[in-house]
Amino acid sequence: YLDFKTYIKRTPSTIIQPALTPAPMPPAQTLAPTPMPTQAPALTLTPTPAPTPGPTLAPTLAPAPEFTSRVIRFSLRGDEGSEKIRTTVNGVTSAAVTLTTSEMEFSYDIGDSLEKGEEFEFFITFENDNGPRDVHFVAMYPPLESLSISLPDRHWSRWNCDDPDAEKQNDRCAKVRSGTFAWKGTYKLRAASALGLAE
């Protein structure tokens, strides 16, 4: 008999491993096809017809205000807002008026005693010129082009304003005629006609 140790040496060891049974595979999942989104049918846009333009109406202009030939209208303003003036219309001289830097409107009824074709004169006296003070006259009715404005004193003659040769006239003459009263004195404004005031 062989002893146990000798037996172990001579007998190859055999290790029996249990057979491994593969785990069953889960059944393959059947994926349902993802439905494609249904596209809405393309919209056919019908263009909106442009409105048929109606006839173009010419704007209705309000009639210009009618100034009666018996009324004169003008405005005055000062550069400093402290200019003092007086007006003389139909022989009546007003009290002194202190102008502002905004337009001040004046309106006078010249009456109906004058006949068409006669000249009508009124006067504006600038009392307190000191250099920076100036008065600006704006004609409303009659218009400036139908007025003759002058400063009939020593200035007017010294400036040669009545000389028929315009080149000999001082530039101050044109300033006065345009309505700039920059010198102390009484300015004469003469209209061509009393009833038409502008032929």
pLDDT in tens, 96-110: 999 999 999 999 988
Return the percentage of the chain with pLDDT > 70, whole number.
58
Tokens of 26: 């889960």
How many other CB atoms sit within 10 Å of the CB of residue 98?
13
> What is the model's pLDDT at position 154?
81
| Edge-first strand listing for the sheet containing 180-181 | 104-109, 71-78, 135-141, 180-181
pLDDT class of 56 with cuts at 50, 70, 90: very low
Q: Which tens digit of pLDDT belongs to each residue from 96-149?
A: 999 999 999 999 988 765 555 567 889 999 999 998 999 999 999 888 888 999
> What is the model's pLDDT at position 184?
94
User: Over the chain, what is the mean pLDDT?
Assistant: 75
Average pLDDT over residues 40-61: 52
Q: Which tens digit of pLDDT belongs to each residue from 153-168?
A: 888 999 999 999 989 9
> What is the model's pLDDT at position 195?
46
pLDDT class of 64 with cuts at 50, 70, 90: very low
Distance of CA 194 to the CA centre of its chain: 38
Average pLDDT over residues 173-191: 95
> What is the model's pLDDT at position 196?
47
Residue of 89, 94, 88, 72 whose CA lies nearest to 146: 72
Q: Is the confidence at residue 183, as pLDDT, over 90? A: yes
pLDDT class of 44 with cuts at 50, 70, 90: low
Q: How far is CA 118 from CA 190, 193, 194, in A?
A: 10, 5, 6
Q: Is the confidence at residue 58, as pLDDT, over 70? A: no
Phi then psi for residue 8, to 5 deg, are -65, -40
